[in-house]
Chains A and B, each alone.
Chain A
Amino acid sequence: MSGPTDTVFDLLKTPIGRLLRRRGIRTTMRLVMLLAALIMIVHGFMGPSLAPKNLATTLTWIHFRGILIFSLLLAGNFFCFSCPFMLVRDFARRLIRPRFHWPRALRNKWLSAALFALILFAYELFALWSSPFWTACLILAYFAAAVGTDISFKNAPFCKFVCPVGQFNFVVSLVAPLEVGVRRHATCETCRTKDCIRGTPPSGLVTIQRGCELALYQPLKTGNMDCTFCLDCVYACPHDNVGILSRLPAAELLTDVRRSGIGYFSRRRDLAALVIIFTFAALLNAFGMIAPVYSLEHWLAALLGVDRLAPLLALLFVFFLFVAPFVLLLGASYLGSRINGDRTSKPLARATRYAYALVPLGASMWLAHYGFHFLTGALTIIPLVQSAIAGVGLPILGEPFWTLTGLPKSAVSPLQIGFLLLGLTGSLVVTRHLAEEDLPHHALSASAPLAAICLLLFAAAVWIILQPMDMRGTFLTG
Chain B
Amino acid sequence: MIARQELLALSGAFFVTVLLPGCKHSVGASSRIEAKCEIYPRPAKVGFSSITIRLIDHGASATGAHLKLEADMSHPGMAPVFADVSETAPGRYESHLNFTMAGDWVLTVRGSLADGEHIEKEVPLPGVRPD
Residues of A within 8 A of B (CB): 23, 27, 31, 34, 38, 41-42, 45-54, 57-58, 61-62, 87-88, 91, 94, 127, 129-130, 133, 136-137, 140, 143, 207, 291, 373-374, 376-377, 380, 402-406, 468-474, 477-478
Contacts and interface: CB of A to CB of B under 8 A. Distances in A.
A403 B70 CA distance: 12
B10 A27 contact: no
A50 B77 CA distance: 12
Contact of A42 (B2, B20, B73, B129): B20
Interface of B: 1-2, 6-7, 10-11, 13-14, 17-18, 20-21, 23-25, 27, 43, 72-80, 82, 101-104, 106, 108, 122, 126-127, 129-130
Interface centre among B20, B75, B79, B108 (most CB of A within 10 A): B75
A48 B130 CA distance: 28
Contacts of A471: 73-75, 78, 101-104
A148 to B, nearest CB: 13
A60 to B, nearest CB: 9
Contacts, number: 139
A406 to B, nearest CB: 8
Given A405-B79, A472-B102, 5 more contacts: A53-B72, A88-B14, A402-B80, A471-B78, A473-B104
A216 to B, nearest CB: 23
A363 B17 CA distance: 34
B4 to A, nearest CB: 8
Contact of B76 (A31, A38, A61, A403): A61
A130 B130 CA distance: 20
Interface centre among A54, A91, A136, A291 (most CB of B within 10 A): A91
B102 A50 contact: no
Given A23-B1, A470-B102, A471-B103, A49 B25 contact: yes
A51 B108 CA distance: 13
Contacts of B17: 38, 41-42, 45, 140
A133 B20 CA distance: 10
A51 B11 CA distance: 27
B25 A27 contact: no
A402 B79 CA distance: 6
Contacts of B76: 51-52, 54, 57-58, 61-62, 129, 377, 380
